[in-house]
A and B are shown apart, each in its own frame.
Chain A
Amino acid sequence: MKIDIKTENGAAIARLSGEIDHHNAKELRAELDRYIVTAQPRELAIDFGGITFMDSSGIGLIMGRSKLMKECGGRLEVRNPQPYIRRVLKLAGIERIVRIR
């Protein structure tokens, strides 16, 4: 599991790679939350392009970060999920909560 966060013009992009399950979601969650609370970006895009596996733990991760971004006055976006990950996102109806690009 790897995470690489970059800020460009006030908007942040967090590029994730590896697998998201219950085991490694904890670490991701802590790292993303630390960034959101300290940097307070207006927009945060989580790029799923490098994610090779995700189960429903990823749904909890997205929903939790979306809530925290809202509380901090910002907005979360999900980018580049592979078709298979899109199916998991669709099942959860996540597109009603965050934008998926």
Chain B
Amino acid sequence: MEILNEIKFIMPSLSVNEGAARAVVSSFLIQADPTVEELSDIRTAVSEAVTNAVVHGYRHKKGNIELTVRLLPDRVIYIKVRDKGCGIANVEQAMEPLFTTAPEEERSGLGFSVMQSFMDRLTVRSAPEKGTTVTMRKRLSAHGD
């Protein structure tokens, strides 16, 4: 599919970068003029995906997280969050609401549920010891202008 614009942002798996990732997405999306609600939805989904990479993907070793944001035709926003961490052995189980492997850190197990309900499409590809790639799409509403 034709890519109208794209940015890539690579950050080490430090929790402070969860906020940095949101800020990057917000600034890039200004050009698409999303509604406040659409921007909130995307920011939240990105925050969940990056947090998963920090908390789970790179739980035992540090590494880089790659965030890609694309503007596609028909006002479709494409987001990819990729890590080369420990991976997920059972993706289906990980995506179940309230499933968490980090209850002691008060992780609610709702990250994927948030991504699923705030975005139009969510795909999770993962392989143990290789890493996890989360891709999401959301179509922004048409503007009157």
Contact = CB atoms under 8 A, between A and B. Distances in A.
Interface size class of A (residues with CB under 8 A): 20 to 34
Contacts of A22: 15, 18, 51, 54-55, 107
Contacts of A29: 106
Contact of A84 (B37, B47, B107, B117): B37
A97 to B, nearest CB: 11
A71 to B, nearest CB: 15
Overall SS of chain A's interface: helix
A64 B47 contact: no
A23 B106 CA distance: 12
A87 B14 CA distance: 27
Nearest to A67: B106
B111 interface: yes
Interface of A: 19, 21-23, 25, 29, 53-57, 59-61, 63-64, 84, 88, 91-92
11 contacts: A19-B19, A23-B18, A25-B106, A53-B43, A53-B44, A55-B48, A55-B114, A56-B114, A59-B108, A84-B40, A91-B114
A89 to B, nearest CB: 11
Contacts of B64: none
